[in-house]
Amino acid sequence: MHYADIKKADIANGLGVRVSVFVSGCTHHCKNCFNSEAWDFNYGKEFTR
């Protein structure tokens, strides 16, 4: 699995403070997607333990 980004203290994607993981890969290809560079499942960094 690859990921585009990890926000360790995110206040923009829900209530309170949280960790957000933005996993790479999407097959929907929506017309106005603001994150099309991450459609590729190999985009970003490899997730390792």
Of 21, 35, 41, 45, the one binding ligand SF4 (CB under 6 A) is 35
Angstrom distance (rounded) from CA 47 to CA 18: 19
CB of 43 to ligand SF4, least distance (A): 11
3-class SS at 3? strand
Of 15, 16, 28, 46, the one binding ligand SF4 (CB under 6 A) is 28
Q: How far is CA 11 from CA 20, 28, 34, 47, in A?
A: 9, 26, 19, 23
CB-nearer residue toward ligand SF4: 11 or 35:
35
Part of the chain binding ligand SF4 (CB under 6 A), chosen from 3-11, 12-20, 26-34, 40-48? 26-34
